[in-house]
């Protein structure tokens, strides 16, 4: 295991191990070019890419854009292309797209290539960068040493659009905020403009970790590695809590560092390739939903959610650290995993308070918590009757009793807009009391003057 106390060789001093997972991304090469060209010290960069590509996506495309000095090695069963881009080292781990096991598996594979660099930067493969981004990050991280032995700079980056660049680049640093517990148990986040960022002199303490941008000491790549059994959702909250329990402190940068492409409309994603049809053809060994379901359950077990017992899995190095406890992270982050709860100060987007005390009693633990609910209901057109007769549609969500936890009314036009093919797809995101778990949902369709037409119940 990596430690904080080590003597750096001259070749390691101030070097940055850049981790970049890429899945069939046409922005990979433009991202690498911008990363290197805008670095103040490109000779200190060692970029390792998990290059998940289709058969027609060839190594020659890199040479056409100025990459050079090609030689090939084999490591852990994969071909690795070692290239140069100017003064920077770029290593491509060659993974045919149909053989991948998801984003977290790819990130973990990259982390096995860490060679003791002083710093590490984790990115996606669709970014643009400010000039001198590397010096800015190193200086920002080092200035935090007085308050944290293990700082991590991480955030959802402001957006850019490759089709309208650089005009599309947002100019406000972002903070990460709680969004909801999804039905499967993972915590999701949303970005928001950092308050008073222009007048800030230091990064903002953060509750949560972003997988598309994180800068830390190099040992972070060893001490808090991505769990390769995770698929996608769940990775960020698991790394958030695991990093905290290993003694790392999360911060959001208060200055612009880079931009991230969010939509990637029309691009091939892993769930497009790893489909049921391609599994039937023998092109992939698992449907992406199968990996996703296993990943969600692993995440619930890790956090002891929904009655899952953490002791049923030996997480080993992918479990929590021993520097701080999960309870301390919950107190700091203002959330409860077992209750799917969130504190008011989190919903109000107040900054976290380091050293927040752990509640001493169950009543204190529950005080102020609200349960976060996020689920979808699917109803086939055949159950809805004649939609031309519908004037209003009302969803009511109930707990175990008769009290309504949530009510949502739609017009006929909104109902029609919610149809996806032959299915009515409705999403519900709301808060309830800590013990008020949704149990059933009733849809009531009404015609003119409120005349009842159809009533449909779904157990949740």
Residues 332 and 384 in one domain: no
pLDDT value for 129: 98
Give the pLDDT score at 2. Answer: 53
Span 107-147, pLDDT tens digits: 999 999 999 999 999 999 999 999 999 999 999 999 999 99
Q: What phi-psi label fits residue 125: left (phi over 0), alpha (psi between -120 and 50 degrees) or beta?
A: alpha
What is the band of 226 on the pLDDT scale with cuts at 50, 70, 90? very high
Q: End of a domain among 318, 337, 368? A: 368
Does the structure show a pLDDT above 70 at 5? no
The model's confidence at residue 264, banded by pLDDT at 50, 70 and 90, is: confident
Q: Are 205 and 144 in contact (CB under 8 A)?
A: no
The tens digit of pLDDT for each residue in 414-433 reads 999 999 999 999 999 999 99
Residue pointed to by tokens 């990363």: 35
pLDDT grade, residue 78 (50/70/90)?
very high
CATH number of the domain residue 404 falls in: 2.60.40
Mean pLDDT of 149-161: 97
Q: Are residues 348 and 401 in the same domain?
A: no
Q: What percent of the chain has pLDDT over 90?
A: 92
- Are 447 and 364 contained in the same domain? no
Residue 6's pLDDT band (boundaries 50, 70, 90)? very low
Q: 81-101, pLDDT tens digit by residue?
A: 999 999 999 999 999 999 999
84: tokens are 């140069």
Q: Let me know whether 289 and 433 are in one domain.
A: no
Q: Is the pLDDT of residue 7 over 70?
A: no
Angstrom distance (rounded) from CA 245 to CA 444: 47
| DSSP of 27-74 | THHHHHHHHHHT-S-GGGEEEEEEEEE-TT--THHHHTTT-EEEEEEE
- Alpha-carbon distances, residue 66 vs 39, 70, 87, 90, 134 (angstroms): 16, 11, 12, 12, 21
Q: pLDDT grade, residue 3 (50/70/90)?
A: low
The average pLDDT across 182-199 equals 94
Write out the two tokens for 214: 């994180």
Q: Judge whether residue 1 has pLDDT over 60.
A: no
pLDDT tens digits along 266-282: 789 999 999 999 999 99
Domain boundary among 350, 368, 386: 368
pTM: 0.93
- CB 424 within 8 Å of CB 415: yes
Helix (H, G, I), strand (E, B) or coil at 453: strand
DSSP strand pairing (392-398 vs 440-446): antiparallel
Tell whether 85 and 154 lie within a shared domain: yes
Which of residues 334, 351, 368 is at a domain's end?
A: 368
Q: Is the pLDDT of residue 40 over 80?
A: yes
* Angstrom distance (rounded) from CA 237 to CA 413: 37
* 47 and 129 part of one domain: yes
Same domain, 23 and 151: yes
The pLDDT of residue 54 is above 70: yes
> What is the domain range of residue 351?
1-368
Report how far residue 426's alpha carbon sits from residue 409's, in angstroms, rounded to the nearest whole number: 11
Q: List strand residue ranges (DSSP E) for 264-416, in order.
A: 335-336, 341-342, 370-380, 392-398, 404-411
Neighbours of 165 (CB within 10 A): 14
Residue 279 structure tokens: 């599994």
* Percent of all residues in the chain with a pLDDT value above 70, rounded to a whole number: 97
Residues 298 and 383 in one domain: no
Query: Is pLDDT at 42 greater than 80 in this prediction?
Result: yes
Predicted confidence (pLDDT) per residue in 390-401, tens digit:
999 999 999 998
Compute the distance between CA of residue 232 and CA of residue 104 in angstroms, rounded to an integer.
6
Q: Is the pLDDT of residue 53 over 90?
A: yes
Q: For position 263, what pLDDT does the model report?
A: 87
**Domains identified in the chain, total number:** 2
Q: What is the pLDDT of residue 266?
A: 78
227 within 8 A of 314, measured Cβ to Cβ: no
Q: Does one domain contain both 429 and 316?
A: no
Contacts of 249 (CB under 8 A, 6+ apart): 144, 147, 148, 150, 151, 152, 205, 354
Look at the alpha carbons of 364, 369, 373, 374 in this order and tell me if their dihedral is positive or negative.
negative
pLDDT over threshold 70, residue 251: yes
């Amino acid at each position: 295991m990596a430690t904080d106390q080590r003597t750096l060789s001259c070749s390691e001093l101030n070097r940055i191990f850049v981790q970049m997972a890429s899945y069939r991304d046409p922005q990979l090469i433009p991202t690498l070019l911008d990363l290197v060209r805008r670095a103040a010290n490109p000779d200190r960069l060692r970029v390792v890419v998990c290059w998940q590509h289709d058969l027609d996506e060839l190594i020659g495309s890199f040479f056409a854009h100025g990459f050079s000095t090609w030689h090939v090695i084999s490591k852990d069963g994969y071909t690795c292309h070692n290239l140069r881009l100017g003064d920077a080292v770029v290593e491509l781990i060659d993974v045919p797209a149909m053989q991948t096991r998801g984003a977290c598996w790819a990130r973990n594979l990259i982390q096995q290539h860490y060679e003791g660099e002083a710093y590490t930067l984790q990115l996606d493969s669709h970014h643009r960068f400010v000039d001198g981004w590397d010096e800015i990050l190193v200086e920002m991280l080092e200035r935090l040493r007085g308050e944290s032995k293990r700082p991590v700079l991480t955030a959802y980056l402001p957006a850019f659009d490759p089709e309208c660049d650089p005009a599309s680049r947002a100019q406000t640093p972002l903070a990460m905020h709680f969004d909801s517990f999804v039905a499967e148990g993972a915590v999701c986040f949303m970005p928001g403009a950092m308050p008073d960022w222009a007048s800030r002199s230091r990064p903002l303490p953060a509750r949560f970790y972003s997988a598309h941008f994180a800068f830390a000491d190099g040992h972070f790549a060893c001490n808090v590695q991505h769990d390769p059994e995770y698929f996608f959702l769940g990775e960020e909250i698991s790394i958030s809590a695991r990093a905290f329990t290993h003694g790392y402190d999360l911060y959001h940068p208060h200055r612009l560092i880079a931009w991230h492409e969010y939509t990637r409309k029309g691009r091939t994603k892993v769930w497009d390739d790893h489909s049921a049809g391609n599994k039937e053809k023998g092109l992939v060994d698992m449907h992406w939903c199968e990996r996703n379901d296993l990943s969600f359950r692993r995440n619930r077990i890790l956090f002891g959610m929904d009655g899952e017992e953490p002791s049923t899995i030996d997480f080993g190095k992918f479990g929590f650290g021993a520097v701080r406890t999960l309870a301390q992270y919950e107190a700091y982050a203002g959330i409860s995993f077992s209750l799917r709860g969130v504190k008011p100060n989190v919903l109000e987007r107040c900054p976290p308070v380091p050293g927040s005390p752990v509640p001493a009693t169950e009543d204190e633990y529950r005080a102020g918590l609200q349960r976060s609910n996020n689920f979808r209901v699917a109803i086939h057109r055949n159950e809805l009757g004649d939609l031309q007769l519908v004037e209003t549609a009302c969803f009511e969500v109930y707990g175990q009793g008769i009290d309504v936890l949530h009510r949502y009314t739609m017009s006929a036009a909104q109902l029609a807009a919610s149809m996806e093919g032959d299915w009515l797809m409705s999403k519900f995101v709301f808060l309830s009391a800590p013990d008020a778990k949704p149990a059933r949902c009733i849809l009531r369709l009404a015609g003119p003057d409120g005349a009842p037409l159809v009533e449909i119940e779904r157990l949740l």
